[in-house]
Amino acid sequence: MTTSAITHGSVNEALNINVSTDIVSGLHKFFTVRYSDEPADNIIHSLANVTAPSLQSEQLFESWQGAVNHANHPDGWQLFQNDQYLLACVPASLFAHLPMDQATEAAYSAIFEQMHAGGYPYLVRTWNFFPGITSDGYAGSDHYQLFCSGRSRAYEQQLLEEQVYPAATVIGTQGGSMQIFFIAAKQAGIGIENVLQVSAYDYPSIYSQDPPLFSRALLHRNQSQEILFVSGTASITGHDTQYAGDINRQTEICLTNIEQLISTAVNEQNMTAITLRDFSQFKIYIKNPHNIDTVRTHIQQILGANAPVHYLQGDMCRSDLSVEIEALAIIPVI
């Protein structure tokens, strides 16, 4: 890919990590994701910092910056929007006082409200971070299962005729409160499922009472780009975890799953043919920080040494999963 739609700064393992991924929509820069070892409070429009700590430097802050709509929003919303996309982080004040399932329901209901108010009816991508993902909540459910229930309940109240679920990441953090980021759009995207996996929304209820409502990937086209949002992808085939305890084999299955998503998008939805090396960004969440060298060696063999990869500590929703990979491809349309 050789266009200015994507800019990669220098990626290095020293303190000064500085990668930006610009999503450009038409002529309007939508937002920039900035990575730095400094928090973004010196930047004019810092959306938020993600809680998952980096494994690359002592501290790595991800801050999303863009053109903020300066209209006065109640409840502390800071909305980034242009003629096609809306991006925001749900204000914690809307759910911080509630138990997990109700908190999630409140957060997603608030997202749907903002989407409706702004005229962005399609949810295309979400990132969800919260502590204690596999620890007990209540009623025999862990926090992830309660999250799934709350999300389902918010969707049930939506009463939409046809629902394309967004691409999603759900990662357990070591502390802090829940953070939910999302991108919504004026135009619908296309959900991409993985033939090697049962669709998450069809999982049997052994994993969660209410199913995880997300698409394995979402293909979104605008006037100037094809964007493939690949959900957090784990070592799951069918609906079973593969290779518990084997970090290398798990990494392999994650990549195989992502390759399968590419080929479905290309063959069934006519997406431009790309390979893993054409992605703009990977985020690799690793549960045990000791595994980073193993994963990095594996990834560099496949993607090359200069691939746009960030390694982050994060817990997965199943205790037998050790690694999860999300990815973003931005393909300029000529």
* Residue 317 touching ligand 3EB (CB under 6 A): yes
CA nearest neighbour of 169 among 97, 108, 217, 236: 217
Decide: is 260 part of the binding site for ligand 3EB (CB under 6 A). no
Contacts of 177 (CB under 8 A, 6+ apart): 92, 96, 130, 131
Q: Which of 62, 193, 226, 324 is catalytic?
A: 324
Q: Verify binding: residue 312, ligand 3EB, rule CB under 6 A.
A: no
Q: How far apart are the first and last CA of the chain?
A: 11
Of residues 166 and 308, the one with the C-beta less far from ligand 3EB? 166
How many binding residues for ligand 3EB (CB under 6 A)? 11
Q: 49 with 82: CB under 8 angstroms?
A: no
Restricting to residues 36-65, name those near ligand 3EB by CB under 6 A: none
Min dist. Cβ of residue 236 to ligand 3EB (A): 5
DSSP H or E run through 21: strand 20-25
Smallest gap, in angstroms, from Cβ of residue 241 to ligand 3EB? 9
Stretch that binds ligand 3EB, among 10-18, 108-116, 166-174, 276-284 (CB under 6 A): 166-174
Exactly one of 21, 104, 231, 281 binds ligand 3EB (CB under 6 A); that residue is 231
Query: 237-271 burial, b if ≥16 CB within 10 A, otherwise e?
Result: eeeebbbeeebeebbbbbbebbebbbebbeeeeeb
Measuring CA to CA, which residue among 313, 310, 315 is closest to residue 326?
310
Cα three-residue angle 33-85-145, rounded to 5 degrees: 75
Among 52, 168, 284, 292, binds ligand 3EB (CB under 6 A): 168
User: For residue 149, which amino acid is it?
Assistant: S
CB of 148 to ligand 3EB, least distance (A): 6
Would residue 296 be called left, alpha or beta, if left means φ above 0 and alpha means ψ between -120 and 50 degrees? alpha
- The one segment of 69-77, 168-176, 279-287, 298-306 that binds ligand 3EB by CB under 6 A: 168-176
The residue (of 231 and 291) whose beta carbon lies closer to ligand 3EB is: 231
Q: Is 252 a catalytic residue?
A: no
Q: Which residues are known catalytic residues?
A: 324
Q: Which residues here bind ligand 3EB, judged by CB under 6 A?
A: 168-170, 200, 212, 214, 231-232, 234, 236, 317
